[in-house]
């Protein structure tokens, strides 16, 4: 389907081994830097229409209008940017990358700004914490004689919240929890839970991991967006009489994978409505805001 959109826009289509899709155009007389723009088309189960797809559609429209650049449609982003990583590992990278994406949060709506320039993408660390206790009969073991793994885990979960709250820009989440043996009349003997910890720069990522005291089994580096590209996006937003808001991204993105590989990258966020809800069918941006994002992206492509 996306291939058809690229062809319809008059772009030259290419697919790489990882299944990433590209659409290229170069009208004579436009700039010579190899600029890519795009996002991903996959989404999460029960997801919304905007996460990923907005950046692909905006890229096709903007590249067609600007008459230059390459639309990059990355495969399999939600499970850890698989397409973007495969691409980076092969090394045929552009001179710059721009990604339009729905904000997936409430900050632009709170600021009354349709668009935002991303300053950087947080680093993500994930791991597992195991808390041991002793199983016992729920009826015959007195309260003062218990070693309840779930009660201890509950204290740790609260401590994780406090620890992350104390580091500026950091967040940490316990989203999965398994209780053993998991019976209504047995004191829990073991609890295993996940931890997902994020912070805007390497220093704070490490500070957070140390303070939480877990061993990450999955880790992505925080990525700073390129000052030059951010400057052009800011100027294009300002030229339209809109407020200029810069914000860090708390979610991972293909732009972070490219930035980490050394490609100067930037992201333009589009205001989320409905309180910033995302990974949900209620995810929404207005048509007016999307149109502004396409204008800014096309103008930025033309200037680079």
The contact set with Zn ion (CB under 5 A) reads: 51-52
Residue 148 vs 289, nearer CB to Zn ion: 289
Min separation Cβ 169 and Zn ion, Å:
20
Nearest by Cα to 245 from 237, 253, 255:
237
Residue 149 vs 270, nearer CB to Zn ion: 270
What pairs with residue 136 in β-bridges?
Answer: 187
Cα 248 from Cα 118, distance rounded (Å)? 5
| Nearby residues of 219 by Cβ (< 8 Å), 6 or more positions away | 123, 124, 125, 126
Min separation Cβ 252 and Zn ion, Å:
8
Residue 55 vs 188, nearer CB to Zn ion: 55
Cα 300 from Cα 304, distance rounded (Å)? 6
| Burial profile 50-75: b = 16 or more Cβ within 10 angstroms, e = fewer | bbbbbbbbbbbbbbbbbbbbbbbbbb
Min separation Cβ 212 and Zn ion, Å:
26
Determine whether 287 is exposed, middle or buried from the number of CB atoms within 10 Å of its CB (0-12, 13-18, 19+).
exposed
Residue 163 vs 265, nearer CB to Zn ion: 265
Residue 52 vs 188, nearer CB to Zn ion: 52
Cα 158 from Cα 56, distance rounded (Å)? 39
Helix-helix angle 149-165:202-212, to 10 degrees: 150
Min separation Cβ 77 and Zn ion, Å:
6
Min separation Cβ 187 and Zn ion, Å:
42
Residue 247 vs 299, nearer CB to Zn ion: 247
Cα 38 from Cα 257, distance rounded (Å)? 13
Min separation Cβ 152 and Zn ion, Å:
36
């Amino acid at each position: 389907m996306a291939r058809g959109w690229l062809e319809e826009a008059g772009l030259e289509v290419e697919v790489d081994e990882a299944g990433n899709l590209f659409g290229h155009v170069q009208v004579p007389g436009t700039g010579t830097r190899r600029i890519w723009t795009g996002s991903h088309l996959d989404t999460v189960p029960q997801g919304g229409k905007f996460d990923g797809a907005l950046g692909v559609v905006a890229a096709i429209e903007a590249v067609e209008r600007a008459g230059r650049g390459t639309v990059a449609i990355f495969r399999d982003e939600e499970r850890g940017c698989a397409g973007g990583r495969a691409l980076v590992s092969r090394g045929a990278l552009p001179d710059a990358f721009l990604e339009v994406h729905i904000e997936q949060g409430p900050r632009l709506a709170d600021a009354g700004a349709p668009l935002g320039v991303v300053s950087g993408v947080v680093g993500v660390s994930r791991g597992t914490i195991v808390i041991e206790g002793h199983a016992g009969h729920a009826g015959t073991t007195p309260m003062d004689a218990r070693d309840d793994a779930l009660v201890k885990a509950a204290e740790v979960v609260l401590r994780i919240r406090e620890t992350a709250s104390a580091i500026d820009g950091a967040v940490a989440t316990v989203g999965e929890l398994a209780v053993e043996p998991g019976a209504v009349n047995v004191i829990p003997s073991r609890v295993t839970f996940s931890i997902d910890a994020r912070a805007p720069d390497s220093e704070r990522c490490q500070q957070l991991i140390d303070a939480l005291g877990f061993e990450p089994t999955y880790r992505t580096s925080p990525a700073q967006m390129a000052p030059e590209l951010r400057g052009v996006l800011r100027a294009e937003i300002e030229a339209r009489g809109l407020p200029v808001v810069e914000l860090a991204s708390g979610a991972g993105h293909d732009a972070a994978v490219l930035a980490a590989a050394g490609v100067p990258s930037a992201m333009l966020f589009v205001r989320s409505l409905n309180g910033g809800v995302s990974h949900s069918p209620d995810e929404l941006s207005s048509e007016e805001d999307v149109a502004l994002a396409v204008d800014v992206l096309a103008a930025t492509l033309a200037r680079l």
